[in-house]
Amino acid sequence: MSEDRLKLEASWKSRLAGVFESAQMQELSDFLRAEKAAGKQIYPPGSQIFAALDTTPFDEVKVVILGQDPYHGPGQAHGLCFSVAPGVAVPPSLLNIFKEISRDLDLPRPTHGCLTFWARQGVLLLNNALTVEHGLAGSHKDKGWEILTDACIEALNRERENLVFLLWGSHAQAKGRLIDSKRHFVLKAPHPSPLSAHRGFLGCAHFSKSNRYLEEHGRSPVDWSLP
């Protein structure tokens, strides 16, 4: 995966150049090309694979939300974790996120599921794996994306201070090993999936807690509504 041909937001590209030149990323690139050549449908579209990094430059990150992998239905994934493209039905996990925001902050429930408004305020919506095969959740796990997304978290942990990390579910919490909780605010809860949200995600108040922390450290709070 040649770094010189990669179209990526400059602040991230400069920090990830070495990763893109690694053997693991070349193997990932070969894998993705082979899957497409075999006629498999891969989500999101190629131009949107790095949307989380392109929409939220490194120095603008305030909050990090970690997802597992993109949605695997037609037209859903567009490069931001938990988010769906405009006009697409809101998935169950995102509905539970909206429920908790509404409960926590007394905001009206959004009418759509596109989270670009959050990303442009400094909420990095990063999946652990950035691609997935149609209909097969987790199909691109352990294919090399984790090297890149680990590097993103390591760079934020090392170079930035007082960020908020929202780790929902075991996959996101596994990346907690890369975060210094003395430098950053780490909040953990079960995944917002209908299978686990009732075990502690609903009622976690992560959104008010995040904003309180940001304000205490001189940062503007996130507007968690969706116009």
**Residues with catalytic annotation?**
69
Residue with tokens 């917002």: 192
Q: Which residues contact 38 (CB under 8 A, 6 or more apart)?
A: none
| Spatial distance between the Cα atoms of 18 and 218, rounded to a whole number of angstroms | 33
- The encoded tokens of residue 127 equal 């999946």
Q: At CA 54, angle to CA 150 and CA 187, rounded to 5?
A: 45
In a 13 Å sphere around the CA of 22, the CA atoms on its Cβ side amount to 14
Strand residue runs (E) in the chain? 42-43, 63-67, 123-127, 132-133, 164-168, 185-189
| Spatial distance between the Cα atoms of 42 and 133, rounded to a whole number of angstroms | 5
Q: In terms of Cα–Cα distance, which of 144, 163, 141, 154 is closest to 214?
A: 163
Q: Which residues of 15-47 are buried (b: 16+ CB within 10 A; e: fewer)?
A: bbeebbebeebeebeeebeebeeeeeebbbeee
